[in-house]
Amino acid sequence: MKKIFILFLLALPLSAVHAQATVGMNDRAYNLSYLDKVARPVIQNLANDELKAKMPVLLAEHPDNKETRLKVAYLEAFGRTLSGIAPWLNLEGGSPDEQKLRNQYREWTLKAIANATNPRAKDYMQWQGAQPLVDGAFFALGLIRCPWLWQHLSTEVQQQVATALNITRSFTPGYNNWILFSGVIEAFFCKYGLPYDAMRIDFGVRQFMEYWYTGDGMFSDGMTFHLDYYNSYVIQPFLSTILDITNAKNKTYINYSGRLDKISKRYAEIQERMINTDGSYPATGRSIVYRGGAFHHLANMSFKKQLPEILSPAQVRCALTAVVRKTLSAPETFTKDGWLNLGLCGKQIGLADFYITTGSLYLCTDIFLPLGLPATDEYWSAPAQPWSAVKIWSGQNAMADHAMDIK
């Protein structure tokens, strides 16, 4: 198989050979360099209480409410960035350079959380309203994924965080994936021993597990199925997080765990097969400018070491690294000052839906969740392996794909 993979590389253009050849040699350093490139402007500026002063807020061509979108963009950027870098912040060890970088980010992030939740800070975030519920949930998800941060916040800042997240309760979520935003905020309270509303958790869990599973590893987004990436952007990562926390607390949804595990594994198989030989993937459905966030689920399953047996960690690493390369190395992906531009492969404003801002784009950091695994883990240490598309389109033998029915 290794010889066939090499022959496939030789058949590619020189530029593609160079891109593929780096896979498996230093993937961790490559992913970490892009995590730093994406996250640094957000976290460093917020730590300095200068995010609102420094971050340019680009909007879609036809935004629904320009004034509101401008106000909420900063929490979008921070909450989404935190959700993606949190597992890496929670990790210990690694090379001296990686430890030094992590320690710097930990210092910045503690200050960033304090400023984002402090009404006296210039960068105090907008926590009231519809979009703040969304990104308050991503912020809460980041704190769930990084207990180190919560444990190292002062009592005063912990109270600021609780107060800010309590404000999000005033908005009633839409009858779709938004009910999981409310659920994950309550799961945060549950995890850290704070008063929580079990009904907000229960409603989301039961709606998805009892009524909105459509089959073959995917849920509908509310009453209607949409062919987009929301099973990955939100639904399955949030649902699994909520079940993990509540089951650890009191085993409330233990009967759903086995079923969700089957669903999640099947959707991971589908996601891996959607990654083309060059790291591209079908640009279908709304929110496509979230870039690598389209593979939040596959990255999360890798980080949690819950991949199906049919997928080796190494092939998923190679596939996700190809996505990072395709979506973040394209010309004009970043502004001259290092902020993300609207687009999927470069600057493509027309791809941005009416609700998209610069802040929205930082959901792409969730592709970096496996950096929360140590460098010695099989995910990073195993030799490079071709992912499904590479096997199939280079003429290698590959396993057939089959739909999954849950009886």
3-state secondary structure 42-91: HHHHHHCCCHHHHCCCCECCCCCCHHHHHHHHHHHHHHHHHHHHHHHHHC
Is the model's pLDDT at 66 over the cut of 80?
A: yes
Residue boundaries of the structural domains of the chain: 2-393
**What CA–CA distance (Å, rounded) separates 117 from 134?**
16
Looking at 1.20.120, 1.10.287, 1.50.10, 3.40.50, the CATH number of the domain 2-393 comes to 1.50.10
On whether the CB atoms of residues 268 and 401 are closer than 8 A, the answer is no
**What CA–CA distance (Å, rounded) separates 322 from 271?**
13
**158 closest CA partner among 108, 125, 113:** 113
Tell me the C-alpha to C-alpha distance, in Å, between residue 220 and each of 202, 290, 297, 343, 361.
18, 20, 15, 26, 23
Instruction: Tell me the HSE value of 311 on the side-chain side, using a 13 A CA sphere.
Output: 30
pLDDT of residue 156: 98
Residue 8's pLDDT band, with cuts at 50, 70 and 90, is very low
pLDDT of residue 381: 97
On whether the CB atoms of residues 184 and 242 are closer than 8 A, the answer is yes
Is the model's pLDDT at 295 over the cut of 80?
A: yes
Tokens 């999954």: give the residue. 404
Q: Can you tell me whether residue 334 is helix, strand or coil?
A: strand
The tens digit of pLDDT for each residue in 217-253 reads 999 999 999 999 999 999 999 999 999 999 999 999 9
Q: Can you tell me whether residue 340 is helix, strand or coil?
A: strand
% of residues, the chain, pLDDT over 70: 94
On whether the CB atoms of residues 361 and 290 are closer than 8 A, the answer is yes
Check: pTM over 0.85? Answer yes or no. Answer: yes
On whether the CB atoms of residues 56 and 337 are closer than 8 A, the answer is yes
